Amino acid sequence: MSTSSGEQAFNNVRKLINDVCNRMNIAEACRLRLMECERELIVHFPVRMDAGTVEVFTGFRLVHNDTRGPGKGGIRYHPDVTLDEVRALAALMTLKTAVANIPYGGAKGAVICDPKALSQSELERLTRRYTAEITLLIGPETDIPAPDMGTNPQIMAWIMDTFSMGRGYSVPAVTTGKPLEVGGSRGRFEATGRSCMISALLSAKHLGINAGEATVAIQGFGNVGAAAAKLLAREGFRLIAISDSKGGVYNPKGLALEGLLAQKKETGSIIGFKNAETITNAELLELRCDILVPAAIEHQLVKANTSSVKAKVIIEGANGPITPEADRILGDNGIFVVPDILANTGGVIISYLEWVQGLQFLFWDEAEVNDHLQKILTKAFAEVLQTSQQEKVDMRIAAYMIALRRLATAMALRGIFP
Ligand code: NAD
């Protein structure tokens, strides 16, 4: 029987957790606990559609582990999302929050739906009913959702409002990634792109690459890819290629980002951009460049195409864009990979800062938020790099080692109830 990509993704995370636990002699009880999600809620719920009909949707909310703090993780709206995919993403969140050393566990949620095919009022009714169904898990002290693919700040505002109606008072800290007007944090929109930029700068420094002379190719022109492009360009990197789901554009002399953003807004696509050659997503991944940022979807670098990668550094903006086989090839070829659980933690770090601000009802300016992000990520990067050098392992294994050590220590200190 063939395994689905969600199943494959969950197996990949579990295998790596397993291997690293064995390598570090981590307690068996800890390893076993991390093989499964602690709580898995599946809901089937009705939504009244604009045409007057009723449709039943399926959604999930899972907490993978909450030893180090409340569950934390996004909600995905996608027609093909599966329970296993959500399990894999929840497990990655447990590792991410541990690498960044923020006081959270890992969680994730999803609804199987095509948000683009729903009207705003259908989307609102679906979101409010899904929130009501998962209210037994979520809360500012238990499990805090955030946006992921297919969801956005407006959806976080509806979740916060629905949850607050149940409590009878406003609970801004129940979600993060909210609009500023209802308790969002400054800096959230660009946060994940910012952590990609910081990771690229720190990698360039480590490898002796001059940012002012370095070239960058980015796959994906959404929240992560577009913000990373803007911030990397601001640091002096030359953006030579970028793509979306329809394909990419390439100019070795550099692409004008403002023009690209304007064209995407106007036509919905970047294809045909002036002074640039049209390329496929496959070609983009194989371009000669210093830094490659896969910031679209999972499993983009696989066994078949990875030997052709010419970048010196890969910054994983997306979750799981490199398969384990591809990872080995990149390692053999000496390509420096900053793994997703480090490179794209900007979103969850600023989510943490939003939650802290929401709990205190005290909001900071953008410089203060970005300063906290910079400090947390720079420390995490230095710890992972140091472990990688000391233990002679790649950055992904080093990040897993740090996360699993923190999880094992926390589990041992808390013990097992009863
Ligand atoms: P998004 O929906 O805003 O953007 C995704 C981009 O990828 C779009 O430009 C889309 O056109 C492109 N794309 C889709 N399918 C593609 C394909 N087959 N080939 C090439 N490009 C394709 O999503 P996002 O929020 O930018 O998230 C991107 C990735 O980053 C996901 O893996 C997500 O889980 C991960 N991530 C996002 C955040 C965040 O804060 N948004 C945080 C951590 C990780």
pLDDT single digits (tens) 244-292: 999 999 999 999 999 999 999 999 889 999 989 999 999 999 999 999 9
Q: What is the mean pLDDT of residues 202-223?
A: 96
Rounded to whole angstroms, the Cα distance separating 121 from 97 reads: 34
* pLDDT for 298 beyond 70: yes
Question: 334-347, pLDDT tens digit by residue?
Answer: 999 999 999 999 99
* pLDDT for 24 beyond 80: yes
Q: What is the mean pLDDT of residues 369-375?
A: 98
Query: The tokens of 112 are what?
Result: 């199987």
Under the banding of pLDDT at 50, 70 and 90, the label for residue 2 is low
Rounded to whole angstroms, the Cα distance separating 139 from 141 reads: 5
Report angle CA 4, 217, 244 to the nearest 5 degrees: 55
Is the CATH number 3.40.50.300 carried by domain 5-172?
no
Whole-structure pTM value: 0.95
Rounded to whole angstroms, the Cα distance separating 259 from 328 reads: 38
Rounded to whole angstroms, the Cα distance separating 30 from 21 reads: 9
Asked, colleague to colleague, whether 5-172 and 191-343 share their fold, the answer is yes
Task: Determine which of 178-182, 190-194, 265-269 has the lowest per-residue pLDDT on average.
Answer: 265-269
> What residue ranges do the domains of the chain occupy?
5-172, 191-343
Rounded to whole angstroms, the Cα distance separating 264 from 244 reads: 10
Q: What is the mean pLDDT of residues 81-95?
A: 97
Tell me if residue 15 is catalytic: no
* pLDDT for 90 beyond 90: yes
DSSP state, 307? Answer: T
Q: How far is CA 298 from CA 51, 257, 303, 319, 369, in A?
A: 35, 25, 14, 6, 29
Name the residue of 95, 176, 218, 244 whose CB sits within 8 Å of the most ligand 1 atoms, as the mutation to test its pocket: 244
Share of the chain above pLDDT 70, in %: 100
* pLDDT for 1 beyond 50: no
Query: Residue 45: which H helix or E strand, with range?
Result: strand 39-48
Rounded to whole angstroms, the Cα distance separating 354 from 387 reads: 30
Cα–chain center distance at 289 = 24
Q: Which CATH number fits domain 191-343: 3.40.190.10, 1.10.10.10, 3.30.70.260, 3.40.50.720?
A: 3.40.50.720
Residues with CB under 6 A from ligand 1: 148-149, 192, 219-225, 243-245, 281, 295-297, 317-319, 344, 347
Q: What is the mean pLDDT of residues 303-320?
A: 97
Catalytic residue among 72, 108, 178, 312: 108
Atom of ligand 1 nearest to the CA of 224: 26
How many A from CA of 365 to the centre of ligand 1? 27
